[in-house]
């Protein structure tokens, strides 16, 4: 079982056969990221703007990220996972604290303070949004082959879109449905309705 990018579907999938679980096409494990990014730049088109923070219903791949609208569809950029040091109050110092003090020398400077407060450092994994601005927004397609969990949903591959305040369901002409839950429902709904009213989406979804 390994995670790989299906270049036909524009999505990362887990596969134990080497083939995409949605379209059945071969998804190579070793990829040339530059080459794939160049190919997808045409398919994705110019990047418009972020639609908002969303959560994608799926297993074993990043679920939280930012959805962008592009010239030809929607691009999901997952948050990156970072390991952060967090000070937490504790009754006694733990093994983790001693390890952390060895690994990060500056911690020695706050050691007395931390000990007197019965605090310790814990290493926690956190989700951190990748923020793109006007100057690097065009690099979004380059992140598809470099960020496992990213995906591009081409408008031409969407058969129907059903939305509610809580979630939006994209039925594809080929492959499984994509369920997207916006974190800011009202703003997302407004942006989505504006997007679906554009010629690009009207012509594909017939709505």
User: Per rule CB under 5 A, is residue 51 in the interface with Zn ion?
Assistant: no
- Least separation in angstroms between CB 94 and Zn ion: 45
**According to CB under 5 A, which one of 3, 8, 80, 189 is a site residue for Zn ion?**
8
Interface with Zn ion, residue 31, by CB under 5 A: no
Q: Which of 5, 6, 192, 196 is in the footprint of Zn ion by CB under 5 A?
A: 6
44 lies in the binding site for Zn ion (CB under 5 A): no
Question: What is the dihedral sign for C-alpha 65, 204, 15, 43?
Answer: negative
Query: By C-alpha distance, which of 88, 76, 64 is closest to 11?
Result: 76
H or E element: which one contains 2? Answer: strand 2-6
Does residue 9 belong to the site contacting Zn ion (CB under 5 A)? yes
Q: Which two tokens stand for residue 171?
A: 């039925």
Cβ closest to Zn ion, residue 51 vs residue 154: 154
Contact indicator for 53, 127 with CB cutoff of 8 Å: no
Separation CA 57–CA 177 (nearest Å): 10
Q: Does 23 bind Zn ion (CB under 5 A)?
A: yes
Helix (H, G, I), strand (E, B) or coil at 176: coil
Based on the shown chain and the rule CB under 5 A, indicate whether residue 26 belongs to the binding site for Zn ion.
Answer: no
Contact positions toward Zn ion, by CB under 5 A? Answer: 6, 8-9, 20, 22-23
């Amino acid at each position: 079982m390994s995670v790989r990018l299906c270049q036909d579907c524009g999505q990362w999938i887990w596969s134990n056969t080497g083939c995409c679980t949605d379209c059945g096409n071969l998804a190579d494990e070793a990829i040339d990221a530059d080459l794939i990014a160049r190919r997808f730049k045409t398919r994705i088109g110019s990047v418009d703007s972020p639609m908002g923070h969303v959560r994608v219903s799926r297993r074993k791949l990043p679920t939280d990220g930012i959805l962008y609208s592009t010239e030809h569809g929607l691009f999901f950029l997952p948050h990156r996972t970072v390991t952060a040091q967090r000070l937490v109050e504790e009754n006694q110092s733990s093994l983790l604290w001693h390890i952390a003090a060895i690994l990060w020398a500056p911690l020695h400077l706050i050691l007395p303070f931390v000990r007197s407060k019965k605090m310790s450092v814990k290493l926690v994994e956190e989700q951190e949004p990748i923020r793109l601005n006007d100057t690097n927004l065009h690099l979004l397609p380059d992140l598809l082959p470099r960020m496992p969990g990213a995906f591009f949903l081409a408008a031409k591959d969407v058969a129907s879109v059903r939305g509610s305040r809580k979630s939006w369901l994209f039925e594809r002409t080929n492959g499984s449905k994509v369920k997207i839950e916006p974190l800011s429902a009202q703003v997302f709904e407004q942006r989505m309705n504006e997007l679906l009213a554009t010629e690009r989406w009207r012509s594909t979804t017939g709505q």
